[in-house]
Every structure is written in C-alpha cells, then in structure tokens.
Structure 1
Amino acid sequence: MDFKNAKELLHLCEEAGSSISDIMLKREIELGEISEIEALARMEKAFHIMRDSARTPVKTPVKSMGGLIGGEARKLSEHQAAGKGLCGPILEKAITYAMAVLETNSSMGLIVAAPTAGSAGIVPGLMLAFQEIYGFSDEQMIKVLFNAGAVGYLAMRNATVAGAVGGCQAEVGVASAMAASAAVELMGGTPGQCLDAASTVLMNMLGLVCDPVGGLVEYPCQNRNAAGVANSLIAAEMTLAGIPQRIPLDEMIQVMYTVGKRIPAELRETAMGGCATAPSVCGGCNGCG
C-alpha cells in the first residue's frame, strides 16, 4: 500500500475496486502498524479539531496576534443569514469556515495543518459545508479525510507544501487540491475523477505567490483560503460533469514544483515582495513595528 505517486494509487484503487479513502486508510494501518480502530480514532480527533476551529470564530470572533484579521467569518455569516449571499449555500458556508480557521490559527487557537497552517481552512471549510448541506454523517466525513490526506501526501512526497519553497501554490494550491478530491469522492466520483479534480485545482492556481504581510500567517492568507475553497468547488463541479483533465496529477505536481522553484525568493514567504510591501497594509500590522 506504500504508493509513491498518483499512478500507483490509481492502480491500487482499480485493482481492489476501492476508493482512495479505503486505500489510504489501509496504508496508514500497514505503515503505522496500528489497527483500523486506532487509525479512524486519530482522524476523528483531527475532524473534531477542524470543526471546532471553523465554528468558534463565527460565534466568538477573536483578533489576530498581528492585528490584521479578526471577525471576518462572523461578518460573512451575518451577511448570509440576512439573505444577501451571492455564492450559493455551499460556497457561502465554505468560505466562512475557511476564513474562520485562519482566525483561530492567527489567535493561537488549535487547528489542523491541512497541509499547512497557512492553508488550514480549505479542507475543513469545504468538508463542513458539504456535511451541512448534504447531511453526510461524521463517519463519512472522517473517512473521506483519508482521501484528502492521500493527495497531500503525494504533493509532499513528490514536490513540496511549503510556501518558502514553492510559493502559496504549494500551500493553498495543494490544500485546495486535497479538498477537491475529497469532495468528488463524497459526491460519488471515481478515484480517477478525484485525482483529475486535484490536478485541475493545481493548474488553476499555478504560480500563486506567498507574500504574508509582516511575515505573519494572516493576510492575505485568510482571503486566499476563501479563494481556495472556491477553486476546489469549481474543479469538483467540472470533473463530475465529465470535463476531462488532460494533465495527470503526477505531471501537474511536477509542473507546480518546477514553477515554485522559479518564483523569486521575495515572493516565497520572505515578506519582501508582493502584498507584504504594500504601504497601506504594512501600517496596520502589529508584527511590523
């Protein structure tokens, strides 16, 4: 079960007639030398942390350590409750929860790095939105997180998920690919469609730079998590509609990695370029003083 790339993963799924979640769960059991009960219990703990980190700021907003964000999720929730939302129920909930997780993270709360702290809102944001709209059980959500984990693992093994190495495309991009793949599985898509959706996300977010103001994981990170869930949903919709992805995930991961290494150093988490140098926002950052 120790697949090294998406091609091997897809082969295992086809050979066993299993989902990506099933294969990834078996991998965790075999390589971790744990029981299925233990593996599921660990993922259940992660899911509960994700849910708490996404819901708490909606009820009780907290200002971030750097002072750049805080209260955005509550504003979105109230906007939607007033019937003024533009994006439809799934995306409205997803962007609210995604932004909320970044508020939790930036105020020293507990989050699940999925795959990083700066991109931690995307997977829980989309998954919780799907659960609330479609009524999926906790057990279904916990299981499908193994699908998301498989995509994250492939990116980490064959490229990077670090903004300092590959830009924000490696953080928010990979997180969005993870969420898209999991969403497709939830909606009855095949393993091949899951990986196609992940590839589509990486293609659409190729070249995204990492330029945190003050070097803090707050701004524009929070907004990009919201954009990430939108990209995830778009890719899942396209894939389930039968629109083909002509670039396999393995190739797209390599493309992303190559592009990331060519992004200038000042646009790879150094806070020396991009939004990090905009005077208007630098003045309001506690971390810049």
Structure 2
Amino acid sequence: MAVLFESFSEWKEFCEKKKVSLHQPVLDYEVREKERTKEEIKLALKQAFDVMKDAVKTGLNEDMTSRSGMIENGGKKVFNSPINVLSEEFKVLISRALAAKEVNSCMGRVVAAPTAGASGILPGVLVTLQDLHQLDDDTLHNALLVSAGIALIMEKKSGIAGAVGGCQAETGTAAAMAAGAITYCLGGNIDMVFNAVAITAQCMLGLVCDPVAGLVEVPCVVRNASAAAIANSSAQIALANVSGVIPVDECVDAMGEVGQSMEDRYKETALGGIAATPTAKMISKKVLISDIDIIDSSEE
C-alpha cells in the first residue's frame, strides 16, 4: 500500500498548497487504494460510524460480562452513577468509551480504530461530541477521514500495535486520532489539529501494554476511558491555541523511539506491569484452568 504522507508537515504543506481541507487527501487516498468511488468510501464511513454508535448503545443496554469475569458492565455502572466528578457530560463520555470497549471484550462487533484494543475511544469521543454540538453525520464522517490520516502517519512513524510499541501505540494513537477529530470538527485550523495530536502523544508517551491473563480486558478497558478524557483535554488546549511546543512529527518520532526501547515484557506479552502483579497471576491461572476445563468438556 502506498504511503499517504511521510509526515504531518508534508500533509499540512499539501493541503495549504492545494487549498483543501485535511480530510480531502485522505478521501482521495482511500479512493485510489481501495479502487472505489467517493460515494462508496462515504458509505463505508457511514457504516463504520454506525457500528461505533451501535457499540456504545449495546454496551450501555446489554449485559457486558466477559467470560473471564473481569469485565462486568462497567459502562452501565458509570452511566448510572449518581455522582458526577466533573459534569454529566464528562460522565457520559467515560461511560460510552467503557461501554464500546466492553463490547469488544465480550466478543461483540466493533470498529478497530486503530485496533480492537482501543476500540472504545473514538466511539466514546465522537458520539459524545456529536450529541453536545449537534454535528451532522457528514462532519463526523470527514472527521473519521482526518483521524485515519493521523493513524496512517503514526503507524509509519511509531506503530499502532501493543506488541510493537506498548499501549501508547494503541490507545495513544486512538487518543491522538480522537483529539485531532474533535479539533477538526470544532473548527480548528491545521496547526491546531496537529497540535492536539502532539499534546496527546506527550500525554500518552511511555504507556506499556500489560494485559492481565493475556486478555484485552484489564487494564485495557479503563485505559480507553482515560484516553478519551485525554483526547478531550488535548483538543481543548489546542483549540485555545496553546502550543505543545514540540512539533507533532517530533512527538510521534519520540513515541516510536520509546516503543522501540521498551522491554518485551511491556509489549502485550502479559509478563510485566499490571499483568505481573500477584492478583493478576492468580487470575491468569484461574482463567487458564477454566479454558482447559471448557475444552475438555466439549470433547467428551
């Protein structure tokens, strides 16, 4: 697959030279690479956003208890909590991010954005953004193109898989995609959008991937909620034209350098971090034995 842009600075230069919005070259890229019409790509965007909205709805309305028992309707519990730490809107944001990711943990249908392990972030952020600001679907579809462009560059520069760069690569990239999308939707210029990405990268830098029992449940689900919050804070800062000081390309390059230097036990192996705690080891043993029992009973 051809590269969209080598860097964020190249993307900016192209848009300014051609006098086009950030989403346009991404749309053209999708048309070229997928060999589809613009109408077909826009339909695919609609379908993707519909799945995101359905994941939020499913997570908040159906039973979300994972087979391991580690996930047990966290999104609904937060949504129905009588206590608002900041505001009702903030609580809704967090509950939606949790809910959409819990759908993934319970083997439901989600959009990998950019991965299944980070699949609660964009839905939680974009559904809440649309509700709060009464944005039409077309605006959100264009924002998805912008977020896809962000992911394509970050994939090349720093990686998007936990096995490559830790959780910073998965939830960090998703949070950067969401921050850029928010800023774009609310009228931020190119510099603001990319500054939101840079600030998010700074905030997510160094986060390890340490899934308990090797399952994408703990601490993955709650990290989706935290990443959604960081995406909103980064966008708020960027929209106020507060500089992250370090250019976005340098921030993402730094993320790649940190990912490369991480020990393997912090890259989705479940050998370090939270996954290596005494309680996590007990859970891992219990889950493993349970899976063996299920396999044995099915063979009888």
Tell me which of 54, 57, 60 is aligned to 1:58. Answer: 60
Number of residue pairs the alignment of both structures matches: 286
Partner residue in 1 for 2:136:
137
**In 2: Cα distance, 1:87 partner to 1:63 partner:** 27
Shift of 1:87: 2.7
Partner residue in 1 for 2:228:
229
Q: Which has the larger radius of gyration?
A: 2
Does residue 48 of structure 2 align to residue 49 of structure 1? no
Partner residue in 1 for 2:272:
273
Shift of 1:171: 0.5
Q: Secondary structure at the match of 1:143?
A: helix
**In 2: Cα distance, 1:158 partner to 1:69 partner:** 33
Q: Which range moved further: 61-70 or 153-162?
A: 61-70
Shift of 1:93: 2.0
- Conserved in 1, the CA contact under 8 Å of 2:198 and 2:246? yes
Query: 1:237-252 to 2 correspondence within 5 Å?
Result: 237-252=236-251
Partner residue in 2 for 1:115:
114
Shift of 1:213: 0.0
Partner residue in 2 for 1:12:
14
Q: In structure 2, do the counterparts of structure 1 residues 29 and 63 end up closer, same or farther at CA, with 3 Å as the change threshold?
A: same
Q: What is the one-letter code of the residue matched to 1:43?
A: L
Q: Secondary structure at the match of 2:148?
A: helix
Q: Secondary structure at the match of 1:255?
A: helix
Partner residue in 2 for 1:30:
32
Q: In structure 2, do the counterparts of structure 1 residues 201 and 70 end up closer, same or farther at CA, with 3 Å as the change threshold?
A: same
Shift of 1:218: 0.3
Q: In structure 2, do the counterparts of structure 1 residues 89 and 36 end up closer, same or farther at CA, with 3 Å as the change threshold?
A: farther
Q: What is the one-letter code of the residue matched to 1:199?
A: A
**In 2: Cα distance, 1:69 partner to 1:279 partner:** 19
**In 1: Cα distance, 2:142 partner to 2:171 partner:** 22
- Conserved in 2, the CA contact under 8 Å of 1:282 and 1:288? no
Partner residue in 2 for 1:165:
164
Q: What is the one-letter code of the residue matched to 1:72?
A: G
Q: What is the one-letter code of the residue matched to 2:179?
A: A
Partner residue in 2 for 1:156:
155
- Conserved in 1, the CA contact under 8 Å of 2:210 and 2:271? yes
Shift of 1:39: 0.7
- Conserved in 1, the CA contact under 8 Å of 2:144 and 2:181? yes
**In 1: Cα distance, 2:245 partner to 2:18 partner:** 25
Q: What is the one-letter code of the residue matched to 2:287?
A: G
Shift of 1:3: 2.1
**In 2: Cα distance, 1:86 partner to 1:202 partner:** 25
Q: Which has the higher contact order (CA 8 A, sep 6+)?
A: 1
- The normalised TM-score by structure 1 is 0.94
**In 2: Cα distance, 1:13 partner to 1:142 partner:** 18
**In 1: Cα distance, 2:267 partner to 2:219 partner:** 13
Q: Which range moved further: 20-29 or 216-225?
A: 20-29
Q: What is the one-letter code of the residue matched to 1:254?
A: D
Shift of 1:30: 2.8
Q: Which range moved further: 31-40 or 207-216?
A: 31-40
Partner residue in 2 for 1:287:
287
Partner residue in 1 for 2:125:
126
**In 2: Cα distance, 1:189 partner to 1:172 partner:** 23
Q: Secondary structure at the match of 1:171?
A: helix
**In 1: Cα distance, 2:191 partner to 2:25 partner:** 13
Shift of 1:157: 2.0
Partner residue in 2 for 1:94:
93
- Conserved in 1, the CA contact under 8 Å of 2:213 and 2:283? no
Partner residue in 1 for 2:294:
none
Shift of 1:158: 2.2
The CA RMSD over aligned residues, in Å, is 1.5
Partner residue in 1 for 2:23:
21
Query: 1:169-180 to 2 correspondence within 5 Å?
Result: 169-180=168-179
What's the % identity of the aligned pairs?
A: 34
**In 2: Cα distance, 1:6 partner to 1:263 partner:** 25
Shift of 1:272: 0.6
Residue by residue over 1:187-242, the C-alpha shift from the partner in whole angstroms, topping out at 9 and shown as x without a partner, is 10011211110111011111001100000000000010011011101110111111
Partner residue in 1 for 2:193:
194
**In 1: Cα distance, 2:184 partner to 2:137 partner:** 15
Partner residue in 2 for 1:67:
69
Partner residue in 2 for 1:182:
181
Q: Secondary structure at the match of 1:23?
A: helix
Q: In structure 2, do the counterparts of structure 1 residues 193 and 215 end up closer, same or farther at CA, with 3 Å as the change threshold?
A: same
Where does structure 2 lack aligned partners over 5 or more consecutive residues? 290-300
